[in-house]
Structure 1
């Protein structure tokens, strides 16, 4: 049995070589994969970004409310949920049509039209004698 005696420098060098080889073969691919996964994760928005998003939402809701108010549809503001200008225009158009249809259907519709009297009936037929008889009957009748 031959004993191998290594100096401390040789041991340190062997450890360094083994460590470098391990880093290159095992650690570096894992670190690269980790960085790739981190890049795909959604990042947390900052407070400034959250505030800006809230302001944009508030501004959009005000625009929706104003559009509804312009068309006399402000009662629908709590149920109208739209994401963009195109949807808003379509919803306002449809709601306006529905409201107009309701107004027409609930509006005043006379049930009894003015009854045509005898004079109007004779006048329509062109019967002069009947028209005169009707007027005289009212005077002497």
Structure 2
């Protein structure tokens, strides 16, 4: 099916009008939104900024390890995942409290030692009057 030049021109004009209408109604608002949102896009970091952040992280790690070594907790360095020194100090205090509690709970507690009461004291001293008093005071 062949179209005449007039028909082809008319079809071309219809396509162009539809395209222009779509561009103004659909595409332009989307492009404007994209431009507006691009201002909030974070800026890519330069090599210097990345190197500086790596140095800061390395310095903080060294400082953390030094503080833990001073406190005698360098063996626990892997368990301290913190972002600043305040958090580190709080966690060190918590760990020290836990370790102190464990030391007290694990200390030697002798079995078989009974507290000495008045009766036992009197019997040890061969004091029959004290033994009788202790029995009646119970």
- Measured against the shorter chain, the TM-score band is 0.5 to 0.7
- TM-score normalized with structure 2 length: 0.55
Structure with more contact order per residue of length (Cα contacts < 8 Å, sep ≥ 6): 1
For residues 44-84 of structure 1, give each alpha carbon's deviation from its aligned partner in whole angstroms, at most 9, with x where no partner exists.
Answer: 11111111101111111122222222222222211211112
Aligned ranges 1:106-125 → 2 under 5 Å = 106-113=106-113, 121=121, 125=125
Distance 1:93 1:115 in 2: 36
1:75 and 2:75 aligned: yes
Displacement after TM superposition at 1:112 (Å): 3.6
- 1:61 paired residue number: 61
CA 1:69–1:112 in structure 2 vs 1: closer, same or farther (change >3 Å)?
farther
> How many matched pairs?
96
User: Structure 1 segments of 4 or more deviating over 3 A?
Assistant: 30-33, 112-116, 120-127
- 1:133 paired residue number: none
Distance 2:37 2:104 in 1: 61
Structure 2: segments with no counterpart, 5+ residues: 1-27, 128-138
For residues 1-30 of structure 1, give each alpha carbon's deviation from its aligned partner in whole angstroms, at most 9, with x where no partner exists.
Answer: xxxxxxxxxxxxxxxxxxxxxxxxxx9xx6
Displacement after TM superposition at 1:111 (Å): 2.1
Distance 1:67 1:103 in 2: 22
Distance 2:101 2:123 in 1: 38
- 2:90 paired residue number: 90
- 1:136 paired residue number: none
**Root-mean-square deviation over aligned CA pairs:** 3.3
